[in-house]
């Protein structure tokens, strides 16, 4: 089983590229954002808790996200692997993922990282808010908090996966097709 971590700052194009990656490599796409938005839309207790955190631009507690991921690993059949989008976001989550996979005799295959600069992040998130009607992306202070949170908590994963020999960085600028071809050329080698 393959386990890919799809990584990059908010607005890097992870969601845009995930569908093609899933189709080409027969993966199950586990987007924590989509899982949480589904809980919010259903009005579950988790969804209500998550809504308040997300609207403030904060991360949902690790144990909640880890539980959702572990359940999906256990319940999903008929795929060649998983594409993790939005998890892990911290070193603690990466270590938890490693433990989850070690219990199954598995390991992360690679961290595929789409990289863009902060100015591009803000532009893309504002565009996404207009197109998708995402209220969590519409307020500049929330977007800035997400960028700050990425730099403070998530960016450390670059070093974590680089030291493990599993980090693959891809330039996230260019057309959707250009970025997709860069991703495929890397993943075809893994």
- Examine the residue annotation and report whether 89 is marked as an active-site residue of this protein: yes
Tens of pLDDT, residues 105-152: 999 999 999 999 988 888 888 777 778 777 666 678 888 888 888 888
This prediction has a pTM of 0.83
CA distances from 33 to 15, 40, 41, 99, 152 (A): 10, 10, 12, 22, 19
Catalytic residue selected from 37, 72, 128, 139: 128
51 in catalytic set: no
Query: How many domains does the chain fold into?
Result: 1
Distance CA 109, CA 59 (A): 25
User: The domain that contains 162 carries what CATH number?
Assistant: 3.40.50.300
**Dihedrals φ, ψ of 117, to 5°?**
-85, 160
Tell me: cis bond preceding 88? Omega within 30 of 0 counts. yes
DSSP state of 86: S
Query: What residues make up the domain containing 115?
Result: 2-187
CA dist., res. 59 & res. 65, Å (int): 10
Higher pLDDT, 92 or 123: 92
Active site residue 104: no
Catalytic (active site) residue 24: no
């Amino acid at each position: 089983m393959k386990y890919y971590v799809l990584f990059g700052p908010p607005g890097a194009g992870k969601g845009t590229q995930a569908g093609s990656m899933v189709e080409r490599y027969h993966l199950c796409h586990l987007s924590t954002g989509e899982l949480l938005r589904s809980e919010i839309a259903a009005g579950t207790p988790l969804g209500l808790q998550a809504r308040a955190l997300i609207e403030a631009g904060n991360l949902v507690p690790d144990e909640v996200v880890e539980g959702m991921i572990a359940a999906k690993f256990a319940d999903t059949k008929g795929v060649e692997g998983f594409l993790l989008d939005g998890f892990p976001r911290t070193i603690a989550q990466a270590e938890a993922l490693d433990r989850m996979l070690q219990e199954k005799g598995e390991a992360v295959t690679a961290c595929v990282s789409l990289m863009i600069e902060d100015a591009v992040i803000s532009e893309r998130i504002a565009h996404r808010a207009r197109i998708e009607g995402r209220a969590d992306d519409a307020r500049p202070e929330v977007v800035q908090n997400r960028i700050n949170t990425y730099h403070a908590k998530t960016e450390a994963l670059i070093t974590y996966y680089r030291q493990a020999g599993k980090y693959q960085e891809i330039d996230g600028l260019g057309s959707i097709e250009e970025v997709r071809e860069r991703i495929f050329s890397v993943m075809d080698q893994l």
